[in-house]
Chains A and B, each alone.
Chain A
Amino acid sequence: MNCKEIQNELSAYLDGELDPAMEEGIESHLAACIVCHREADNYKQMDDDFRRNLPPVDPSPAVLVRSLERISHRAAPGVRNLWRAGWAVIGAAAITILLMFGAHQWREYHEEQAILQRIDSYSARVPIRNVFSLSRYDNKSRDPFDYRSNLAGRSPFQIVTYKGGPTAASQRGE
């Protein structure tokens, strides 16, 4: 091994982490090479300097008391479970409301789409005046401009009359 390779292994050598053969190789190199020997010596001095001057320390006695307080506070199951249950109920209610609202919107949209589709297909086949004449049978609605309230329970023939056609009043000649 050359000096560079030896110096790359010095750290593990100083920590006693090399296999015996490698360790022996390094020791014989260090015995012969002043540069690598000085390098190893330097590392060793530094390690000793740090170990000597930065001794282990203990925490203050209050740390145990505070830690036990935190642990016992955290471990109080009654309060914690109550909070958890409360949040679970709120979460479930919020999800249910969202789902119901979504389902309602979806249903309304598809109902309107189906009705409009039927109107379109009928309008393509029947002269518009015939469509208007069918509105005479509409005896339920008194307000033909109230489109939404008139959608429910009507045939598409009746609804068409409200989309730009004559009003019930004009049909009666008023």
Chain B
Amino acid sequence: MGGVTSGAAVKQAPEAPPIESSLGALARRAAHDEQAFRELYDRMKRPLYTFIYRMVGHMGEAEELFQDTLLKIHRNLGRLDDRDSFLAWCYSIARNTAISHLRRRKAITESIDDRPELEAPPNSHEETEVQLDLRKILMQIPPRYRSLFILGVLEQREYQEISRMTGKSLASVKIDIHRARQMVRERWERLRKGGKL
């Protein structure tokens, strides 16, 4: 019984590129310099867009929200504190933007049934049935747990970093990620046994 224990506690490299401290300086320049903003964009687009897309499950909405997030980041670059983690700060903006959007969408779809269909990302050739099912599972758990599942499980970020991104205590992050895993696993097992989502 060594399969799980051997590599379980080793934190794998997160899928997002490491954001070094030079990014803070680049961010401050980006407030007034378009070239610096483009450079910042190139380094931030994948992690931020992926996070938003996983949160909302719809390409068109994700692109709109990503633009809103960029605009908010640009608007507040001047207030960026040296001590702040730039990435955590960007993620907190993206997360709040996505959650607010999902709240508004829920309010609308509760009155009229026009929930947007899940869409395949633009750079994937064809989304498999498994991929679609997994994204459906993600969309079925409440947004605040979904964001923690994405950050903790999919992106494999450290709890301390997630705590800064979400403004939650470390203990709360730990409990909520466990709860999010339980919610996802319940549906994932049902799917594996041939049940419906």
Binding site for B on A (CB under 8 A): 8, 10-18, 23, 27, 30-31, 34, 37, 40-44, 46-47, 49-51, 53-54, 56-60, 63-64, 66-68, 70-71, 74
Question: CB-CB < 8 A to A11: which residues of B?
Answer: 174, 177-178, 181
Q: Confirm or deny: B46 has a beta carbon within 8 angstroms of a beta carbon on chain A.
A: yes
**B residues within 8 A CB of A59?**
45, 49, 62-63, 66, 122
- Nearest A residue (CB) for B74: A71
Q: How many A-B residue pairs have CB under 8 A?
A: 128
Q: How far is the CA of A27 from the CA of B2 in the complex (A)?
A: 9
Chain B count of residues within 8 A CB distance of the other chain? 54
Which of B4, B16, B34, B123 has a CB less than 8 Å from the CB of A58? Answer: B123
Residue contact A67 to B41, C-beta cutoff 8 Å: yes
Closest Cβ of chain A: how far from B141's Cβ, in Å? Answer: 12
Q: Which residues of B from 30 to 69 have beta carbons under 8 Å from A?
A: 34, 37-38, 41, 45-47, 49-50, 53-54, 62-63, 66-67
Check B47–A56 contact: CB distance below 8 A.
yes
A42 to B188 Cα, complex, angstroms: 10
Interface string of B167-197 (1 = CB under 8 A from A): 0000000100110010011001100000000
User: Roughly how many angstroms separate A71 CA and B121 CA in the complex, as a whole number?
Assistant: 25
